[in-house]
Amino acid sequence: MIAEEDEMKYQIALSLIDGVGDVIGKKLLAYCGSAKAVFLTPKDKLATVSGVGRVLLDSIINTDVLKRAEKEVLFIKKEEIKHLFYGDKKYPNRLKQSEKGYPAYKTKQAILLESAADVIKGLNWDVKEKDMQQTMFIELRESEQKIIDLLSINQLHIDTIAEKLGWNFSKVANELLQAEFKGLILSLPGKIYKKNI
């Protein structure tokens, strides 16, 4: 495996570790300098990184993610997928600045991500609102009508919706998902929802 593929393996492996999300991943990269260094850094030094506890340390040290990542690298090569990582020069600057930016971004398409708009399009977050004529005669359940009424004023965060409707979080999440599947609402980044009809 050439050096570039070797580093890619460690980048993918880092994103496969249970408990390592965007924030912890960035902290580990900032502390260690590279994805490979995360796996080579002694356990006691990794423990000094904010947010890294004993359970996460065990996940980093005692895990099969490197084997899984090797398979992923072979798949990426075979399918000619463009792999971008947080530290890459072509990784979108706006995602680098975002606390919730993605450490690894893969696409089978040959696209260059230069802005957040490119990422929004790639993740299908740029769905246009439907024409009102198409949705004029949709029959809504009572719970769907309450959500649509609430979102007709403004786009809202899921927590605000739960609070205003007086529903528990799981009911709100379920109802929002069902409404989204029906095309009644749109899910925006940050768990924000808006009306789509």
Provide the residue ranges of all domains of the chain, joining segments of one domain with +: 3-122, 132-195
User: Tens of pLDDT along 127-185?
Assistant: 555 444 444 556 788 988 899 889 988 899 998 999 999 999 888 988 898 888 888 88
Which residues lie below 8 Å from residue 90, measured CB to CB, with a gap of 6+?
Answer: 84, 112, 113
User: Closest Cα partner for 61 from 79, 42, 78, 45?
Assistant: 42
Around Cβ 176, how many Cβ atoms within 10 Å?
Answer: 21
Query: Of 43-47, 96-100, 193-197, which range is least confident?
Result: 96-100
User: Tens of pLDDT along 74-119?
Assistant: 888 888 877 777 666 666 665 555 544 444 544 444 555 666 676 6
pLDDT for 16 equals 83
The mean per-residue pLDDT over the stretch 58-73 comes to 82
Query: Of 57-61, 95-99, 132-136, 187-191, which range is least confident?
Result: 132-136
Q: Residue 51 is which amino acid?
A: G
CATH code linked to domain 132-195: 1.10.10.10
CB 193 within 8 A of CB 158: yes
pLDDT for 107 equals 45
Q: Which two tokens stand for residue 182?
A: 């029906």
pLDDT for 86 equals 66
Please write down the long-range contacts of 26-31, taking CB distance under 8 Å and 24 or more positions apart: 26/86, 26/99, 26/101, 26/103, 27/51, 27/52, 28/52, 29/86, 29/87, 29/103
- E strands present in 7-90: 82-85
Q: Which two tokens stand for residue 45?
A: 């030094």
Per-residue confidence band for 25, with pLDDT thresholds at 50, 70 and 90: confident
Per-residue confidence band for 8, with pLDDT thresholds at 50, 70 and 90: confident
